[in-house]
């Protein structure tokens, strides 16, 4: 018989393939219809290939294992197509709170609470005593107030939202005074002048980039002033001939003029980090004690919790924010809230915090620990890259990240990969090597710096998982 004709006869039917055991799992997970479409497309493709006299397909059809391998391939393709593109990665960038890598890892207490809140009904906005409508902020307000000395608290989606809603609630169509030294860009679209516009406020810059005095603020106050604001310069520092106006001075001015004074702390922390050997970062309580009427800070920066924006301070002002229709648009969801409550509860016992809160554990990890880990994994890197690159354990500095303490770096250790001296196309080699690390089952993200691929091991804990998958790179 003509091979083309016999090949058409060998083509399996859709129903026959759908009966195969190797497709049973994907049918169970994705449903019959999805798999059927894919199977039909595969058969159509083969039919077209035969019609085009594609001999390779004709040969394949004659192989006894053909149907089985076709089903396995269809199942693999379907699994891959339906897999989430959001995956866990190893953050070996050296930036502990890495915004693009999802910032803080959550403590297990928070993860459990989040899972429970996600899978069950909760009393999110329901008062169990009265049986009437409750307030979602109530679950956090008490402990936030206890910890910071604030009168009231409310929580929104993130700190950017906190800033927007504070501005919009307290200074709509009014001028907001802010020092020229604090016109921060946090990254991408979050720039103070733009935020002012989107909150329908008028930015009134005072002072100069390096020096701003109290009189710059007091001279700028007019009928149209709605708010005095301070923004923590989280990702830079102005050094040299500088002067900024302290919170105490601004709050004094605020009291005299009856214009509220608010402070965007950015990262913000509830405890004095010096007790863990870290540099000082103003705490929320310090800022309120200095007289700020409201303080805004992030949930997922130094606090170490889920993405959220927390606003604490004067009750009257917090109430105004809660009445703003934007509050509904920016409110925190139940899963985040459940996690945040647990994270804040951990702060009640600061002495155990560095063991229980992953962010603090990362930031305070002993250098000897990181160094020992580096020495243990070094030989594996060496064997993988033998002849192609020199690998060594190097001193490096980790950054806290996300705008916290930009100039304070933590002593750490890295695996550094440098292409061998006589190698041509070193940059291309390093770029391609870093791509291969990012294509591992659990992607490994490092950084390219000074002609080397650097993996800072500060945030690596799952040593076994890490080492096991490196075997995949043996073929580089
Ligand atoms: C990070 C930061 C923000 C934005 O906070 P998100 O939680 O990322 O929305 C706002 N202001 C300052 C000063 C910051 O550092």
Domain ranges of the chain: 3-82, 90-98+362-474, 108-352
Q: Give tens-digit pLDDT for 129-187.
A: 999 999 999 999 999 999 999 999 999 999 999 999 999 999 999 999 999 999 888 77
Options 2.40.50.140, 3.40.640.10, 3.40.50.720, 1.10.10.10; CATH of 108-352 = 3.40.640.10
Decide if 262 contacts 318 (C-beta within 8 A): no
pLDDT band at 406 (very low <50, low <70, confident <90, very high): low
User: Please, how many CA atoms are within 13 Å of residue 349, restricted to the half-sphere of its CB?
Assistant: 9
Which ligand 1 atom minimizes the distance to the CA of 162?
9
Q: Which residue has a Cα nearest atom 1 of ligand 1?
A: 266
Q: Give tens-digit pLDDT for 214-241.
A: 999 999 999 999 999 999 887 777 888 8
Asked if pLDDT for residue 361 goes beyond 90, the answer is: yes
Decide if 335 contacts 114 (C-beta within 8 A): yes
Query: Taking all residues of the chain, what is their mean pLDDT, rounded to a whole number?
Result: 93
Task: Tell whether ligand 1 has an atom less than 6 A from the beta carbon of residue 155.
Answer: no
Average pLDDT for residues 303-308, to the nearest whole number?
97
Residues 6+ apart with CB under 8 A from 455: 92, 414, 415, 416, 417, 444, 446
- Predicted local confidence at residue 107, as pLDDT: 97
Average pLDDT for residues 300-311, to the nearest whole number?
96
Percentages helix, strand, coil for the chain (3-state, rounded to 5) are: 50, 20, 30
pLDDT band at 280 (very low <50, low <70, confident <90, very high): confident
- Predicted local confidence at residue 349, as pLDDT: 95
Which ligand 1 atom minimizes the distance to the CA of 163?
10
Between 56 and 125, the more confident residue is 125
Separation between Cα atoms, residue 440 and residue 371, nearest integer Å: 24
Asked if pLDDT for residue 105 goes beyond 70, the answer is: yes
Asked if pLDDT for residue 372 goes beyond 80, the answer is: yes
Asked if pLDDT for residue 29 goes beyond 60, the answer is: yes
Highest-pLDDT range among 68-72, 119-123, 187-191: 119-123
Asked if pLDDT for residue 1 goes beyond 70, the answer is: no
Asked if pLDDT for residue 466 goes beyond 90, the answer is: yes
Task: Tell whether ligand 1 has an atom less than 6 A from the beta carbon of residue 403.
Answer: yes
Q: Which residue has the tokens 């009168």?
A: 151
CA of 48 from ligand 1 middle (Å) equals 56
Asked if pLDDT for residue 411 goes beyond 90, the answer is: yes
Asked if pLDDT for residue 408 goes beyond 90, the answer is: no
Options 3.40.50.1820, 3.40.109.10, 3.90.1150.180, 2.30.29.30; CATH of 90-98+362-474 = 3.90.1150.180
Separation between Cα atoms, residue 111 and residue 343, nearest integer Å: 10
Between 190 and 211, the more confident residue is 211
pTM score: 0.91
- Predicted local confidence at residue 403, as pLDDT: 64
Which ligand 1 atom minimizes the distance to the CA of 300?
7
- Predicted local confidence at residue 402, as pLDDT: 74
Q: Which residue has a Cα nearest atom 2 of ligand 1?
A: 266
């Amino acid at each position: 018989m003509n091979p083309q004709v016999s090949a058409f006869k060998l083509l399996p039917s859709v129903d026959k393939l759908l009966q195969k055991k190797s497709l049973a799992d994907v049918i169970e997970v994705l449903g019959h219809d999805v798999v059927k479409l894919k199977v039909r497309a595969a058969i159509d493709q083969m039919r077209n290939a035969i019609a085009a006299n594609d001999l390779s397909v004709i040969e394949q059809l004659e192989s006894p294992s053909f149907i089985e391998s076709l089903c396995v391939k269809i199942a693999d393709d379907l699994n891959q197509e339906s897999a989430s593109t959001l995956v866990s990665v190893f953050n070996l960038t050296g930036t502990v709170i890495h915004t693009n890598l999802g910032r803080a890892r959550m403590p297990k207490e928070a993860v459990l609470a989040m899972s429970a809140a996600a899978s069950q009904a909760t009393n999110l906005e329901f008062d169990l005593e009265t049986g009437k409508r409750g307030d979602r902020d109530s679950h956090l307000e008490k402990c936030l107030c206890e910890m910071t000395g604030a009168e009231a608290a409310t929580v929104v989606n993130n700190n950017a939202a906190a800033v927007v809603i504070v501005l919009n609630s307290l200074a709509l169509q009014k001028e907001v005074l802010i020092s020229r030294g604090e016109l921060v860009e946090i990254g991408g679209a979050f720039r103070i002048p733009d935020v002012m516009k989107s909150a329908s406020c008028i930015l009134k810059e005072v002072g100069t980039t390096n020096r701003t005095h109290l009189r710059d603020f007091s001279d700028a106050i007019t009928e149209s002033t709605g708010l005095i604001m301070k923004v923590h310069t989280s990702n830079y520092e102005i050094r040299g001939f500088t002067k900024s106006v302290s919170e105490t001075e601004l709050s004094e001015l605020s009291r005299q003029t009856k214009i509220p004074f608010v402070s965007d702390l950015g990262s913000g922390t509830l405890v004095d980090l010096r007790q863990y050997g870290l540099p000082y970062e103003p705490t929320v309580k310090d800022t309120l004690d200095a007289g700020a009427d409201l303080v805004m800070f992030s949930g997922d920066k130094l606090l170490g919790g889920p993405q959220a924006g927390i606003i604490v301070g004067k009750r009257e002002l917090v109430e105004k924010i809660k009445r703003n229709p934007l509050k509904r648009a920016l409110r925190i969801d139940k899963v985040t809230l459940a996690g945040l409550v647990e994270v804040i509860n951990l702060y009640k016992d600061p002495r155990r915090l560095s063991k229980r809160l992953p962010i603090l554990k990362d930031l305070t990890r002993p250098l000897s620990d990181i160094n020992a880990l580096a020495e243990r994994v070094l030989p594996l890197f060496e064997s993988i890259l033998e002849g192609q690159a020199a690998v060594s354990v190097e001193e490096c500095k980790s950054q806290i990240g996300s705008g916290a303490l930009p100039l304070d770096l933590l002593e750490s250790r890295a695996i550094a990969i440098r292409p061998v001296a006589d190698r041509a196309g070193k940059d291309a080699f390093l770029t391609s090597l870093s791509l291969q690390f990012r294509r591992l089952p659990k992607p490994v993200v490092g950084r390219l710096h000074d002609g080397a691929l650097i993996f800072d091991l500060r945030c690596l804990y799952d040593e076994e998982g890490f080492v096991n998958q490196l075997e995949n790179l043996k073929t580089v």
